[in-house]
Structures are given as structure tokens and as C-alpha cells.
Structure 1
């Protein structure tokens, strides 16, 4: 059961006073916090009239499940006394007192559970105000790992590439690309699991029916905003004897380009130049 002092504090913070609003609470509308680090919800109290030195009587920081929710008290100050804060919450300025108009909230060791809406309520001797702000928690996904099933390739048989990336938040996406940067994501299936700490693990399976077309495939992990965070390129293993064959074909193509095509282009250019010079001299005579 909550103590009588705590109940009185919550009642005081939530009640609507009849005092005109000569002060205003201004907060950054959206704040971004990195998982495992400190997060700052910036809020300051500003005077709206010629008040000289307003004195803060009450500050209440509440965590809401929605903007309309009454929420739970995370950090509070009431008439000179700091209420016992929830673990991981404190004023951004360690030596904060009732004369300090910076009422910013500091969240230490940010977790997924800290994501959401927050309300800051301030009552002064010159008026009161409240405002709702948000914290968006982000965690970067790990570099993907890619492996091939089956381990040994059988020519012209079905196979699967599996890509995994974990430790991210919010939910991201795994996409597939071949060595020519064509996307193959529509041919894959992705599974999403969430661990006890709220972080996501992404697993994507790319089916290669009847063998594969390209020697390299890249799995890229994108965050919830669509930004690429990490990627991993996987070079397809080749059956015994096929590596030499493919390398030989590739070598022949390159050799054909440099020994036949390039010389023909150069010779053709020289012939055109000689004809142009001959024509110019003939016209001059």
C-alpha cells in the first residue's frame, strides 16, 4: 500500500489548480535513446509574464501507456521533498532544486521498457502546466551471419541460404541481393522473435530452387526507419570440379574481352582516323 505522503503527492500533482498559467513547460517533442546508454528527456519551465523568480512546488514525471493514460509516477518532487524515484530515473541536473527551471529527466541504462510516452507536470507558485513527450528506444542490429543448407552442394538440387541478425530494436527487416545488386527479398521468408529484454532476432530463409544462379548473395539488415545498419556477403560453395570449370569460363571471357574486343576497337578507331585524314587531304587538293 502506498504511503500517505505518496498519495498526497500524486493528488497534488494531478489536481487542476485555479491559478492562471503564468508559466509554461516546454519539452522536446520526440527524444531518441540508445539501448544500454543514458537517455535525456529535455524539459524546461519558462515564464510567460513578468514574473521575477518563480518557485517550483511540484514536479511529476509519469510513464504513460498512451497519451491519454494517467500513467505511473517515475520521479517526483513536492514542496521541498524529493519522492523516492523509480530505479533508473533522476533529474538531469544532480543538484536540482525548486529554483532550477530545468526539469529534464535522465534515464540511466536505457532498456526497451523505457520506450513510450512520458508526461511532465509542473506546479509553481505562479501557475502550473503539463506536457507529454516521447522516447524512442533504438538498438543496433548485429552484423548478419549467413550459412548454407545443405553443407555440400548437389548440382541442380534445391538449397537454402539462412541469414540471422539479433540484438536490435524496433523490429527491422532482412533483405537479399545478388552480386549484380538485384533484390531477392520476395523469394525469402523472415521470422521475428523477441527476447525477454525486448530485443529482436531476425531470421530469413532464401530458397534457391534447382540450384543457384549467382556466386555471391548479400544479406542486409535494415532498421525500422529503413536505414541499412549492417550486411554480410556470402560466396556460394561449388561442387568438386565445378570451381575450376567456372573459373576457367570466367577467365576465358575476360581473355576474350582484352585480347579480341579491345584490339578490334582500337584498330577500328585508327582506321576511322586514317580515313578522315585522307578525306580531308583530298578535299584540300
Structure 2
């Protein structure tokens, strides 16, 4: 009888040890786009013989109580319905209809057919593009003896970016502007830049508003000019990083092109000194100057 009891206890101990074995899962931090679905890639870190893992429970924590919980054995689902665990064999997650409120740090816990998964963390950053900028003036009609105020407005973006101003000779005048950033009910942002001019500035007649996102990539530009024969003629755009107050001068040589053939316009940065490469992200080519964003050094 004693031999039988010892054997049963040994078998029970082995079974309990396997059930409580702690395994690992690893998730990548990602950047999601507002109103789009965002996948959080996750993978099991398991021994080769564990090729049949089935997820029984999953918990996602951000605050208390848990943000999301699912128990497949008891058919229980609680929390944010936008969070989906698409497969019981793949720990990757799906955030549907991503919002700004989803941005933050998360803790992820799993229980599986092979044991408890050690909790892991991941972060979700959120972005949204700003709308094309619009310029308004006060007063509405530019008068020769009145210093006007120009407003450049853009909305619906996240996180906050910046707005830059240039006159129609490509000279930056952002130092004369003030930027106001406000949060909408949906936590997306509105940016409004107020450019205060003096009467002498009217000789330029045209001004350009250039919107950059938080990564200093351009999200649009627009122009304001009073005289019809004056303004900005956009020749084309090339897809270019910018130190926020660092402006370069671009010199281009005149060239003769042949119809039906490709024509190269040799250009160089005349005011740049250093051994680093210049990586152009976006470049707006105007009739009499260029504007864009760049980065020094490799990515």
C-alpha cells in the first residue's frame, strides 16, 4: 500500500510542475494611425517541443480594472470591444479604429495549455495627419497703409507639429509668427499660426505657410497673395529632415534640355559644411525658390 501512495504523489507532482511552468512572450512597440486598425506583433518564446500552444486566457492591463480580458474555456469576454485576439495560437493583438486615447504603455498576460506566460509590456504611439493648411487675413483685403495679420490654420493631426512662414522670395519670416495649439474633443489637435506683418512687408505681396509634423516631415503648404500676377508657382514636388530652425541654401545651374530626352539640373547645398550626407525627404520646387525638409547623416 505504501508503494502505491508514493507513486501517485510523484505523478501528481510532475503534472503540477508542468502546469505551472512559466513561459515567455515578446511584443513589439508600434505606431498606429488614427481611425485605422493597428496590429501589435507578438511571438511566443518557447522550447522547440512546445509547438502546440493554445491560449486559454488573455489579460491586457493599462489601468485597474483590466482594459481587456478573455477566457476561452468559460466563454467570457470583458473590456474594450475594439481589442481583438485574432487567434488562440498567435498572441498578436489587433486594435481596431485606433484613437489618440489608445496611446500609452500596456501590460499583457497570458495563460496557455502549456503553462503561464510571463507578463510582457508594449507601447502604442499614435499619429494622425493634419489637414491641408488654409490662410486667412485680417483685414480681408490687403490695404497699402494697414499692416495685415495672416492666420494659417490646420486641424485633425497628432501629435503637435509646427508651422513655418516664407515670403515670395523664399526668406523665412516665422520669427514674426506665434503658434497656438488646441485640443479637440477627440484629442486631435488644431494648430493656428498668426503672422503679424508691418507695412514694409507688403512689398513681398505673397506669403507661404508650410506645415511640418512632429517628425519634421511636411504635411502640406499653401500660399496667400494679394496681386494676381504675384505669388507662388509650384513646379513640382520631390519626395525630403529638418532641424527646426536650420535653413540651407540650394544653388542650381541653368541647363539646356532636349525634347524627348531626360534633362539633369545640377544642384548643391551652398551653405552646408561638414562630412555628413544630406537626406532629402520632401522638396517643393517653386518658380523662384525651393522649400522642404532634410536630415543630416544616415537614417
Relative to the length of structure 2, the TM-score reads 0.64
Return the match for 2:77 from 70, 75, 84. 84
Structure 2: state its 5+ residue gaps: 1-18, 231-299
1:225 counterpart residue number:
215
Q: Distance in 1 between matches of 2:20 and 2:85?
A: 28
2:49 counterpart residue number:
50
In 2 relative to 1, CA 170–48 (structure 1 residues): closer, same or farther, beyond 3 Å? Answer: same
Bigger Cα Rg:
1
1:120 counterpart residue number:
108
Q: Distance in 2 between matches of 1:91 and 1:172?
A: 31
Q: CA deviation at 1:20?
A: 4.4
Q: 1:203 aligned to 2:192?
A: yes
Return the match for 1:140 from 129, 135, 139. 129
Q: 1:168 aligned to 2:157?
A: yes
Q: 1:74 aligned to 2:46?
A: no
Cα contact 1:218–1:232 (8 A) shared by 2:
yes
In 2 relative to 1, CA 82–169 (structure 1 residues): closer, same or farther, beyond 3 Å? Answer: farther
1:38 counterpart residue number:
37
Q: 1:214 aligned to 2:207?
A: no
Taking the TM superposition and a 5 Å limit, the aligned residue runs for 1:229-268 are: 229-235=219-225, 237-238=226-227
In 2 relative to 1, CA 201–52 (structure 1 residues): closer, same or farther, beyond 3 Å? Answer: closer
1:129 counterpart residue number:
118
Q: CA deviation at 1:37?
A: 1.4
More helix per residue: 1
Cα contact 2:24–2:45 (8 A) shared by 1:
yes
Q: Distance in 2 between matches of 1:110 and 1:27?
A: 18
Q: What's the secondary structure of 2:79's corresponding residue?
A: coil
Relative to the length of structure 1, the TM-score reads 0.66
1:189 counterpart residue number:
178
1:263 counterpart residue number:
none
Cα contact 2:181–2:189 (8 A) shared by 1:
yes
Aligned residue-pair number = 212
State the structure with bigger RCO (CA 8 A, min sep 6), 1 or 2: 1
Structure 1: state its 5+ residue gaps: 1-17, 65-70, 247-285
